Structure 1
Amino acid sequence: MQSVSKQGHSLHTRLDRLTPYLFILPFIISFFIFFVFPSLYSFVLSFYQYRGYGTASFIGLDNYIALFKYPTFWTAVYNTLFYWIVHIVPVMAISFLLAVAVNSRLTKWKAVYKPLIFLPQIMASVASALIFKIIFATRYGVINSLLGTQIFFLEDPVLMKWTVVALIIWRAVGWYFVIYLAGLTTISDEIQEAATIDGAGAGQRLWYITVPLMKPIFLFAFMMDTIGSLKIYNEPLLMFSTGMDAPTEVIPILSILTRNISGGNFGLASAVGWILFAMILLVSLLQYNLLKGGKQE
């Protein structure tokens, strides 16, 4: 009887251990079906020439070589890196300073400021692009009307990219404002009060207390923004597209991928996707090591 009791207890213990895995089993199955398998399939497909029908022909690295010889691909790489490098510091700085201001005890109407700052993030991308096209329009745009000039924001190849950056910044600030605001709430008021008693001013408390304690949040925010920025697609397309794709002057890497998918060249599209993945991985690792190094110091 005792051995039977022990066996029953052992079986019950095993079932208890398996229960958590049963709850996450649907996610695991979905993850493999909709992420792992398509990712592996696209990696294999990047070494083939495949039009979506018929037999796929193995061509080795030809898809990657063809991309590196394609001038528009390098234009897209430059544009994507430009959008990321130019916008990331303004977004992080504005978001953090707004979060500090709203989190301050001196700030009133916090319940009003929070949704207003976050509003661009939840606004439809099409509506946001339309607003910026009205602002930067050459003949009747808001900026040109105020300045009494005709600056070709939406036609000049250089200024076109800057209008995309302005749209990215406007939409991204609200998201990182919420992240920084959440991080600021984890900093104990006692630490700030102790620094105040010791004679530290507002600027000193911000630089020597708030910023060091927020470094893990900065790391998370910078990493998230980098990944999202290198996958940019909607903003250039909505601002400047007159058909199915953005013009070459502002084209990002993802547009090369969609062009090849719509053209039926699935092998080349898969190669674009994996090159973009390698870019994101490399930049993210470099950024992580730099920011983590600063944290350890």
Structure 2
Amino acid sequence: MVSPPHEAMHRIFQHDPHLFSRLSAVLGFSLPTPVEVTVMPTDLTETNPVERRVDTVLRLKSADGSSYVLAIEAQRKKVSSKPASWAYYTSYLWTTYGLPTALMVVCQDHATARWAQQPVVSGPPGLPTLTLTPLVVGPHNTPAITDPAEAREDLVMAALSAITHAAEPDINAILKALSAALQQDVPEDDADPIIEFVAQGLGDSPARKLWRNLVAVDLSFYKSYIAEEIRDEGRAEGRAEGVAEGRAEGRAEGVAEGRVEGVAQGKANAILLVLEQRGIHVPAEAHDRITGCSDLGLLDTWLTRALTATSAAEIFEAE
């Protein structure tokens, strides 16, 4: 089963097919600038019952009419069988489309990148019949974009920087720069995929919590992502507390009452969390009013207002 970081490492090139061309300039190898890029089918299965599927395949066409195929593989760890699969992928694509074929492997750690960079040689000693040399992209050669202005110039490249540096010491600075860049009047249709790719690429690393908090600071450009996550946390906590309290009383009435009180407490916690993440001070009186409320409908109204309020008092403005 593929993981979110695996998907983010190659799907970002489907989202922006011209990213490879910009990346090639950054890494210092010369290729004609493509004027047209086509996302190709990734299923390399033959008629025999062996399924082979490459992560992403692009066809790049240059201004002079020449074209080549690029296979992109996301690799999170060493897998001894992978080099043979990579050789198959490139040979199959070369044979199928009759075009020069290159292989790029995207990694998130130095050890995997060093392993993937080694030439793949097929043939007995002294007779290297087939040699494959992948282009490897990872934390060792992808620039760490820590300047918001630079990130704003190329948001997709900045997202790739965050994905490939997910476990690096500079990841916090990269995420802060990207978050700041996204708040500079970036259209929602452009911001949403970037935020999602980065969230997937970070996986369960410690940096994911920081990214969640950074996104929560300005909910206006991506409300659904963070708001639903916070609501889910509050509901889960509330249900757990409610069921526990009801069981302790040992009566059916206690279970029902406990669930309602628990859900209310969960919603109250969600409101306080939203305000905290947005940097809004909550006075003791407002805190007590929120946590002491048992009206689920009213709590939902307050939670919605908390997403855009500029002070704690604003969430009570109509009451």
TM-score relative to the length of structure 1:
0.22
Question: Structure 1 or 2: larger helix share?
Answer: 1
TM-score relative to the length of structure 2:
0.21
